[in-house]
């Protein structure tokens, strides 16, 4: 079946969702060409589209030549072609090498929301795929850069403004947490946000967002007053608890599946000086360190100023645990960290820090330009199991010891009772977590290495590690299906982890606001509503 909603006969996206005539923002007779005209774009005057009658498949060179030439014609210096400095400044500045290797057809740097409307509509018109990048911290190929397509880089949309009573900060997606905290600090304010400088606001908030302040206020997605988004039809929507509330719910965990967010309007919080840093232990103290981790997590509602994670790894054959202990007030030795502090440490770099100082300090331990994978699971908090997993990790890492540069780390974080409670704020989020069984624990592997030829060995190793851990977790009845999107590997399906009901609801909301599935098909990168980015059997 064919639709005539695109110029010419582009048929790749038609067929789907024909019956969906009730979209509040995209009628069934939606006409991309006239939507572009409504934005002031005279399609018939664009040279690259003369004689262009649609492509037979998505993202062909022909389609993307038409799309990128059209963008260049309309936006001039905001568009960079291959072999230019503008282009390489984009491809060279991702966190992981896997994302840096991607070669888009062109890079588009919009300066306002309607620029993005035009790009999305041109993608629809030509069939050229796109991807969008905020901080570019997602690790795997194609997450925020489009192979052969249009890579939209928000870099020049970097405003941070406060509303009149300073209760809401309006943040454009070109910001990272260093730029946001730096802009708000002079006002004594911050938002619930990231813990390292260069993480972008975009991916972070749309997937959840674990902050130093989360025991006080919840995850970042639970502290959004409203989102301004560009819909698949190029409309600018204000999305809040009262305006498109279903979409507001979906954006709180649903990732890039519903639109491109052009403003994150986040509730502000006070930003007093904090205290914290890493305290490092040797292997003889691992059991005590794990006990301390569990006790701090279980005590989270007693003192919501504390935040922690603990990382286990090996340096030159010495096994180390590093606990990042953060207090959101300038207090050096709060009761809640007493147990940790009674464990002899080989080093402790704790000190008073502003948020700006904190994210700058943490940035240093997360170098750029390496091959990277993050890979998490979730379990119910359990002392015995946490110890078993660390022992299993250390028993298995010799398998990758000979791989150049391989540095596997396992990190424990808590989804505490106060965090879980805050998830029901403002009508709730899409994550499907509930606090009825007590605190949860995210166990995350982070690993970097040097050589592409070792990708397969690393992925295989991590898969076998998690297979073993998940089997044991199920046996002990502590396994939880939740997968944290912001840490998920390309082999995982976080949307399914939100539970069947939430997945179905997300899909029906996507259909309602994006009846042709533009954000599912023309923007294929990262986590879609229908399965893992890469399906394979190891
Ligand atoms: C060193 C490091 C430290 C980290 N620390 C934390 C932490 O403290 N807490 C935590 O919770 N997570 C943390 N993470 C994980 C982090 O939240 C994710 O990597 C997140 O995806 C990064 O967002 P980004 O905007 O930088 O990524 P990007 O790669 O730019 O984007 C990720 C995805 O979101 C989409 N996206 C981005 N912006 C928008 C937008 N405006 N509208 C629609 N879609 C958009 C992109 O298209 C892409 O698909 C960390 C990661 C790293 C590498
Ligand atoms: C879509 O709009 C354009 C420009 O307004 C018009 O020329 C074209 O005929 C329309 N297409 C359809 C199928 O209505
Ligand atoms: C969205 O909200 C902003 C700020 O409140 C307002 O200026 C703008 O006109 C609104 N946009 C739409 C499309 O409603
Ligand atoms: C590990 O060993 C190498 C080679 O001996 C040395 O250069 C490096 O500094 C050591 N790393 C640490 C963290 O001690
Ligand atoms: C935390 O928990 C431990 C043991 O469960 C308890 O002894 C301690 O007093 C608690 N600390 C705080 C700050 O509540
Ligand atoms: C990458 O692998 C090749 C071939 O196995 C090896 O010669 C090279 O030293 C490796 N590179 C690094 C940086 O380790």
Point out the ligand 5 atom lying closest to the alpha carbon of residue 336.
13
Average pLDDT, the chain: 94
| β-strand partners of 261 | 229
Residue of 316, 401, 409 with the most ligand 4 atoms within 8 Å of its CB, for mutation: 316
Strands (DSSP E) contained in 42-185 are 79-81, 106-108, 130-133, 150-153, 160-162, 168-171
Nearest CA to ligand 3 atom 10: 238
Helices in 276-382 by DSSP H: which ranges? Answer: 286-298, 338-341, 355-363
Residue of 33, 40, 49, 233 with the most ligand 2 atoms within 8 Å of its CB, for mutation: 33
Q: Which residue has the tokens 């048929």?
A: 11
DSSP 208-242: ----TTHHHH--GGGGEEEEEEE-TTS-EEEEESS
Question: Using CA atoms, how far apart are residues 81 and 65, in angstroms rounded to an integer?
Answer: 10
Q: What are phi and psi of 261, to 5 degrees?
A: -85, 125
Q: CA triplet 341, 345, 350: central angle to 5 degrees?
A: 65
Instruction: Provide the percentage of residues in the chain whose pLDDT is more than 70.
Output: 95
Global confidence as pTM: 0.95
Point out the ligand 6 atom lying closest to the alpha carbon of residue 405.
14
Q: What is the mean pLDDT of residues 448-463?
A: 98
User: What pLDDT score does 5 carry?
Assistant: 34
CA nearest 358: which of 522, 138, 211, 165?
211
Does the structural domain 274-497 have CATH classification 3.30.1300.10? Answer: no
Q: Which residues contact 110 (CB under 8 A, 6 or more apart)?
A: 75, 78, 116, 119, 152, 154, 156, 157
pLDDT one-digit tens code per residue, 92-136: 999 999 999 999 999 999 999 999 999 999 999 999 999 999 999
Could you give the residue range(s) of every CATH 3.30.465.10 domain in the chain? 160-271+510-521
Instruction: Provide the percentage of residues in the chain whose pLDDT is more than 90.
Output: 91
Q: What is the mean pLDDT of residues 298-302?
A: 97
Instruction: State CA 192 to chain mean position distance.
Output: 15
58 pLDDT above the threshold of 80: no
Q: What is the mean pLDDT of residues 465-492?
A: 98
pLDDT one-digit tens code per residue, 200-239: 999 999 999 999 999 999 999 999 999 999 999 999 999 9
Question: Using CA atoms, how far apart are residues 307 and 221, in angstroms rounded to an integer?
Answer: 17
Point out the ligand 3 atom lying closest to the alpha carbon of residue 237.
13
Could you give the residue range(s) of every CATH 3.40.462.20 domain in the chain? 274-497
Point out the ligand 6 atom lying closest to the alpha carbon of residue 451.
1
User: What pLDDT score does 55 carry?
Assistant: 65
pLDDT one-digit tens code per residue, 163-214: 999 999 999 999 999 999 999 999 999 999 999 999 999 999 999 999 999 9
Nearest CA to ligand 4 atom 6: 316
Q: Which residues contact 138 (CB under 8 A, 6 or more apart)?
A: 99, 144, 203, 526
The fold adopted by the segment(s) 160-271+510-521 is 3.30.465
Question: Using CA atoms, how far apart are residues 329 and 438, in angstroms rounded to an integer?
Answer: 26
Lining residues, ligand 4, CB within 6 Å: 315-316
């Amino acid at each position: 079946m064919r639709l005539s909603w695109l110029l010419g006969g582009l048929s790749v996206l038609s067929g789907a969702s024909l019956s969906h005539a009730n979209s509040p923002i995209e009628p069934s007779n939606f006409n991309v060409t006239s939507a572009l005209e409504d934005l002031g774009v005279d399609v018939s005057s664009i040279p690259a589209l003369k004689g262009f009658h649609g492509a037979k498949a998505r993202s062909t060179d022909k389609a993307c030549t038409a799309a990128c030439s059209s963008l260049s014609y309309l936006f001039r210096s905001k568009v960079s072609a291959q072999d230019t400095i503008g282009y390489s400044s984009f491809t060279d500045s991702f966190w992981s090498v896997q994302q840096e290797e991607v070669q888009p057809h062109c890079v588009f740097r919009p300066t306002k929301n309607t620029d993005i409307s035009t790009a999305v509509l041109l993608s629809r018109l030509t069939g050229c795929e796109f991807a969008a990048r905020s901080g570019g911290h997602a690790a795997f190929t194609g997450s925020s850069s489009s192979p052969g397509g249009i890579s939209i880089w928000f870099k020049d949309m970097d405003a941070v403004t406060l509303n009149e009573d300073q209760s809401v900060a309006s943040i454009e997606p070109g910001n990272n947490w260093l730029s946001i905290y730096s802009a708000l600090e002079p006002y004594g304010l911050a938002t619930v946000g990231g813990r390292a400088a260069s993480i972008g606001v975009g991916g972070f908030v749309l997937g959840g967002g674990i902050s130093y302040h989360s025991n006080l206020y919840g995850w970042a997605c639970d502290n959004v007053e409203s989102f301004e988004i560009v819909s698949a039809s190029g409309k600018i929507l204000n999305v809040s608890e009262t305006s498109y509330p279903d979409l507001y719910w979906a954006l709180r965990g649903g990732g890039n599946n519903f639109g491109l967010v052009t403003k994150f309007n986040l509730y502000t919080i006070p930003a007093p000086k904090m205290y914290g840093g890493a305290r490092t232990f040797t292997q003889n103290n691992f059991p005590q360190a794990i006990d301390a981790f569990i006790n701090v997590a279980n005590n989270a509602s007693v003192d919501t100023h504390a935040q922690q994670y603990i990382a286990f790894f090996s340096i030159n054959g010495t096994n180390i645990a590093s606990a990042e202990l953060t207090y959101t007030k300038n207090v050096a030795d709060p009761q809640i960290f007493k147990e940790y502090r009674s464990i002899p440490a080989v080093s402790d770099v704790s000190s008073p820090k502003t948020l700006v100082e904190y994210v700058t300090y943490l940035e240093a331990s997360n170098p750029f330009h390496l091959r990277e994978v993050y890979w998490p699971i979730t379990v119910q908090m359990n002392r015995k199991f946490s110890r078993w997993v660390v022992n299993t990790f250390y028993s298995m890492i010799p398998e990758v010891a000979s791989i150049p540069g391989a540095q596997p780390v396992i990190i424990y974080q808590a989804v505490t009772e106060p965090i879980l409670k805050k998830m029901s704020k403002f009508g709730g989020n899409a994550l499907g977590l509930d606090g009825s069984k007590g605190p949860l624990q995210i166990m995350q592997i982070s690993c970097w290495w040097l050589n592409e030829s070792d990708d397969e060995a690393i992925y295989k190793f991590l898969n076998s590690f998690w297979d073993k851990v998940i089997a044991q977790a199920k046996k002990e009845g502590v396994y939880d299906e939740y997968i944290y999107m912001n840490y998920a590997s390309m082999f995982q399906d976080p949307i399914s982890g939100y539970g069947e009901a939430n997945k179905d609801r997300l899909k029906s909301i996507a259909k309602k606001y994006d009846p042709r599935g533009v954000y599912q098909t023309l923007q294929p990168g990262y986590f879609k509503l229908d399965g893992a980015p890469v399906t394979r059997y190891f």
